[in-house]
Amino acid sequence: MLDLFGQKKNDFLPEISEEELSDQEVMSELKQLKQELREDLLILGHHYQQNDVISFADITGDSLALAKHAANTNMPYIVFCGVHFMAETADMLTRPDQQVILPDLNAGCSMADMANNEQVEKAWEVLVNASSQKIIPITYINCDAKLKAFVGRNDGAICTSSNAEDLIKWAFDQGEKLLFFPDQHLGRNTCSKLGIKLDEMIVYNPNMQNGGVTTRQIKDAKVILWHGYCSVHQGFTAEQVLAIKKDSPQTRVIVHPECSYEVFEAADDAGSTSYIIDKIEQAPAGTSFAVGTEINLVNRLNDKYADKQIKSLSPYQCLCTTMYRVRPRWLLASLRAIKIGKPINVIKVDNETRKYGLLALERMLRKSK
């Protein structure tokens, strides 16, 4: 059977049922196995993971920090509690003899799915034919490994939400135009912060003829943004920011740059998940925050900093359902499989993709503090 990403599902222990083990038993076996495997195992946890999973992570971080940790570990097994593109990135950054494991192969990213290789190759042809200027492609790390290889082959690079500014500046040192995908919001917000005007940016929609843009628009644009977005961050609105500002003017609104331009502009501050955490940690006791990012992180911050008032910017649950797919019992299945030397859900990027993807990743890592 193939998973969402076309990889063959390993039949071994895909699930541990509730009849077999209660939640409590899962947690206690996980503790024991993690201890037993400590010489061979690194568990990485993205900030959006649920608390029960985070409690087993050796390292928690944003996409950039986790990629760096994956690149620097010697552990033979890296269990990535995050989503598919993160595990693929980790695989490209580790040695071939190391194994990167994603506890649930269906943990994807809806934004990453909004751009595929065929669409990006097609867009590239349209853009390159329309303009004689040098176009530099930058992809947000939230994308398939093949797109990382695409930017590697075409003199471009990868960025995350914490280094997008540096990478976009770098891109404009290499060429005259930028193609940014798949997240239009991170691209637009970052470019506008760097002084690029909104009317210098166009949106290429892969579902429309010629991307829905004319040759003239391509020639005139400085930035071509892909029509992609995060459905979780798209849930935050400028009206929510304005309502908070009206009812509670002292509340600081801090959002992730995957939010729309209107939200980004109306908020007091914006940055990656690690940036948001640092800002809340450094704020004096008594500070109130309304946070525009995924709900597991917001709730955890609220529990951790009892001396501050921390709530979601949205009254609705902004849950990343794909991150949420990683459950303690899937983590346990992964650890049991490692213990008997038959790891399951191993993420492997083919050599050709890896070669060019690595080029793009290394360009990013050289530019990241």
Q: How far is the CB of 237 from ligand 13P (least distance, A)?
A: 17
| Residue (34 or 185) nearer to ligand SF4, CB | 185
Q: How far is the CB of 273 from ligand SF4 (least distance, A)?
A: 9
What kind and span of H or E run contains 217? helix 215-220
94 near ligand 13P (CB under 6 A) = no
334 near ligand 13P (CB under 6 A) = no
Looking up tokens 């006791």, which residue turns up?
A: 285
230 near ligand 13P (CB under 6 A) = yes
Q: How far is the CB of 141 from ligand 13P (least distance, A)?
A: 7
- CA dist 251 to 129, 270, 285, Å? 49, 14, 13
Of these partners, ligand 13P, ligand SF4, none, which one is at the site of residue 234 (CB under 5 to 8 Å by kind)?
Answer: none
| Residue (82 or 206) nearer to ligand 13P, CB | 82
- CA dist 50 to 44, 78, 255, 307, Å? 13, 19, 20, 22
273 near ligand 13P (CB under 6 A) = yes
CA-based nearest residue to 230, from 44, 6, 4, 48: 48
Q: How far is the CB of 162 from ligand SF4 (least distance, A)?
A: 13
The token duo for 366 is 């050289």
CB under 8 Å to 330, separation ≥6 — which residues?
A: 15, 103, 104
Annotate each residue in 197-236 with x if it binds ligand SF4 (CB under 6 A) or - if it does not, as one string.
---------------------------------x-x----
Q: How far is the CB of 324 from ligand SF4 (least distance, A)?
A: 9
CA 216/CA 214 separation, integer angstroms:
5
142 near ligand SF4 (CB under 6 A) = yes
CA 167/CA 175 separation, integer angstroms:
12
320 near ligand SF4 (CB under 6 A) = yes
The token duo for 353 is 């993709």
CA 116/CA 112 separation, integer angstroms:
8
Of these partners, ligand 13P, ligand SF4, none, which one is at the site of residue 273 (CB under 5 to 8 Å by kind)?
Answer: ligand 13P
Alpha-helix residue ranges (DSSP H) falling in 271-317: 273-282, 295-304
| Residue (82 or 211) nearer to ligand 13P, CB | 82
Q: Please, how many CA atoms are within 13 Å of residue 253, restricted to the half-sphere of its CB?
A: 26
Chain residues in the site for ligand 13P (CB under 6 A): 47, 62-63, 142, 160-161, 230, 256, 258, 272-273
Q: Which residues bind ligand SF4 (CB under 6 A)?
A: 83, 109-111, 142, 230, 232, 258, 294, 320, 322-323
